[in-house]
Structure 1
Amino acid sequence: MKAAVLKSLGQPLAIDHIADPEMRSGEAIVDVVAAPVLPYANEVFSGERRYPIELPLVPGCGAIGRVRASGPDATRLKVGDWVFCDPTVRSRDDASMPDITLQGWSARGEGGLRLHRYYHDGAFAEQIRVPTENAIRIGNIEPEQAARWCALTVMLVPYGGLLAASFQAGETLLVSGATGNFGSAGVAVALAMGAGCVVAPGRNERVLDDLQRRFGERVRTVKLSGNEEEDRERMREAAPGPIDCVLDLLPPSAPTTAVRAALMTVRPYGRVVLMGGVGMLGGDGLDLPYPWIMRNDITVRGKWMCSPDAIPRMAALVRSGLLPLDHIDVTTFSLDCANEAVEHAAEHAGPFRMTVIQP
């Protein structure tokens, strides 16, 4: 099969013919119809993000495709089914503390590297081999819709955080990093879940105006100044009442002061979920006040990606019309143009924009 291969960091992807994946028990082979190119893919491939990956590697984080073959443990998955290939691969021998790898993208810890060495190659290829449970049915779609369904890769991240926070319809959410790729998706997902109000702070006035235009009065935008105390007060004032939950999705380049300014807007007994990249490139710690957390009974938790049951639930949100995909601007590239796709994704990053490779 044809694939885009990362042979060394800092070098272009090589478009090669490699062996077709071989299915074993507990696995499925999926024909890749559309694979998203994340905006920071160039930072992973250059080594700037210092992801623990072993080369050579067929990269690609998630895909929409159709089942080519499945093993004897699959009782409902059929050849031809449309599926979302979940890149979050979990070890099966410890349900309470599974090791995790993002197939074709990154690994975490020694156990994650062991998974990475087996479920190694990602979706920048004509076929991908995934664990059976990672080929998740999304129902019938038209082939031309496959690229838009790649938006699940981005939207599932904030959705995982909101589910972890037990976010409820009618509540007020603050999305820290709302003008970014994942943050803007978090605004859309929260509204689809029934948020009474979403406070959307950021520095990019154009994106803030666009969020207001897209979603109307349920979104309250806040232009940040960079002054921690001032920004915290303005975010509180923007909300129609107490802020029930804060979801942080700020990128590695953001300072911890921006995180803290947002997190400390939450009401007593409120919840905070950390899902961003702050600190991954070094720098100061978050330094939240112990007395504030304790006396206000604040729940602070981290969340990485989403639980497996989030995917069919999100597919249901899309199919119900609560989370429409038709407003997403999608640019597609052939597999032969994978390097151009990576460059395009970096140069055209932004809310509700997707770059997709279609093998």
Structure 2
Amino acid sequence: MASPSQELPKTHRALILSSTSEPPKIKDVPAPQPGPGSVVVHMLSANILSYQKSIYNGERKYPFPTPLTTGMGGIGRIAAIGPDTLTLSPGQLVFVDCFVRGRDDPNSAFLLGIHEGHTEGSRKLMHGEWRDGSFAEYVKIPLECAYPLNEELLMGKLGYGVEELGEIARDLIPFGGLSDISIRPGETIIIAPATGPFGMAAVKVALAMGTRVIAMGRNLSILQRLQASHERVEIVQITGDEQADLEKVKGFGTIDAYFDISPPVAGTSTHFKSCMLALRHGGRISLMGGLNIDLAIPHAIVMHRDLLLKGKWMYDRQNVLDLIKMVEIGLLKMGSKAGQEYVKFPMDEWKEAFDAAEGFSGSNRSAVLVP
């Protein structure tokens, strides 16, 4: 429990989902209390996915227990600490990571407030101790999911707002896949599709890692905006003509790697094969998309060219630490410095916030909830 110097309110406001057949509601519920291995964070800014609404109305059919405090990660301040907390202290600014791994089984992983994961262990964790997300005034999270941020540097010297720092969460996902295939400065990588929120983040992160990017997608206007906003970006519109798109990509010379973060509906897209066929001998492929069907792989090309194909779900703890360092030294820009605008919504306007987030997809605007 919290010490007298860390008193928490008896209740707090949270956006609770009781069933996917009815919308969530703001309720006054008992405030979380810290225990061993946990901290309680006062949320300052909570991230909203572009498809947040389709998660909680059941359209995406994500598995999770109900009732559930909705939300995922964001930025907040430590409100109370458990008895075994050594370095964090009340008032400290932290990044709240929604990707939780089992301490005695790191393969059991789930997304706080979104998805119960793929193992019995991950389901046990989300159905039990770690049931609630961050669309609330306070959230209890595992100690290792609270990453300290250098407030003096990030908000003082660099001038970031808390909502801009929340961009760390989105950038982390492609950073996990790019790191997993050992992207190196000077290499050329295909990002496809590069026109959604995570694809656009992948372009930004890959550039910060020192690469040249070939951005692919169907929306030409978004591709052109990416090219105008960044150096070292080439663009190829996906036309559905596998051979024609391949020739356009090959026209840019040696291609070292291919990063894919396709949405569920893209499983039959021609770009997968075009991108794989464009890779040099020994090229690498990272698959991070959420396809709802199996993908056809050009087996002979993968084998004879010694291609490395890896899947990656989210990222590792070291990726989080590394990416925060990139932000702190100014290598990876956030928010307005990266051309991104954040629109803040109070928790009472969560419906408007979800709608705005959906409408902002593919743009340079993002919605955040301010509990």
Q: Give TM-score, length-normalised by structure 1.
A: 0.94
Runs of 4+ in structure 1 deviating by more than 3 angstroms, as ranges, are: 141-144
- The alignment status of 1:223 with 2:231, answered yes or no, reads no
Aligned counterpart, 1:330:
342
Residues 172-231 of structure 1: CA distance to partner in whole angstroms, max 9, x if unpaired? Answer: 111011111101100000111111x10001111111111011103x00011221112221
Residues 10-21 of structure 1 aligned to structure 2 (within 5 Å): 10-21=21-32
Residue in 2 aligned with 1:259? 272
Q: Which residue of 2 aligns with 1:234?
A: 248
Contact 2:44 2:162 (C-alpha < 8 Å) held by counterparts: yes
Amino acid at match of 2:147: I
The one of 199, 211, 215 equivalent to 2:226 is 211
% same residue: 36
Question: Which SS does the other structure have where 2:34 is aligned?
Answer: coil
Alignment of 1:1-359 (within 5 A): 1-95=12-106, 98-109=107-118, 110-117=120-127, 118-140=129-151, 141-142=154-155, 145-195=161-211, 197-216=212-231, 218-237=232-251, 239=252, 241-256=253-268, 257-278=270-291, 280=292, 282=293, 285-325=294-334, 326=336, 327-359=339-371
Q: Deviations over 1:144-173 (max 9, x none)?
A: 701111111111110011111111111111
With CA pairs under 8 Å and 6+ residues apart, which has the higher RCO, 1 or 2? 1
Contact kept, 8 Å, 2:100 with 2:109, in 1: the verdict is yes
Q: What are the ranges of 5 or more consecutive residues in structure 1 without an aligned counterpart?
A: none
Q: Which runs of 5+ in 2 are unaligned?
A: 1-11
CA distance in 1, matches of 2:20, 2:274: 36
Indicate the SS of the match to 1:153: helix
- Of the structure 1 ranges 179-188 and 285-294, higher mean CA displacement relative to structure 2 is found in 285-294
User: In the aligned structure 2, how far is the partner of 1:324 from the partner of 1:349?
Assistant: 20
Letter in 1 for 2:126: H
* Normalised TM-score (structure 2): 0.91
CA RMSD of aligned residues (A): 1.5
How far did residue 119 of structure 1 move? 0.6
Question: Matched residues in 1 for 2:343 and 2:351: separation?
Answer: 14
In structure 2, what residue type is equivalent to 1:320?
I
Deviation track 1:32-59 (CA, whole Å, cap 9, x = no partner) reads: 0000110001110111111111111111
Residue aligned with 1:261, SS: helix
Q: Residues 342 and 367 of structure 2 are in contact (CA less than 8 Å); yes or no, is this contact kept in structure 1? A: yes
Mapped to 2, the partners of 1:268 and 1:10 lie a distance apart of 50
Count of residue pairs brought into register by the alignment: 349
Judge conservation of contact 1:260–1:286 (CA < 8 Å) in 2.
Answer: no
State the alpha-carbon separation in 2 of the partners of residues 172 and 226 from structure 1: 23
The code of the aligned residue for 1:331 comes to V
C-alpha distance in structure 2 between counterparts of 1:323 and 1:111, whole Å: 35
Alpha carbons 2:254, 2:280 under 8 Å: kept: yes
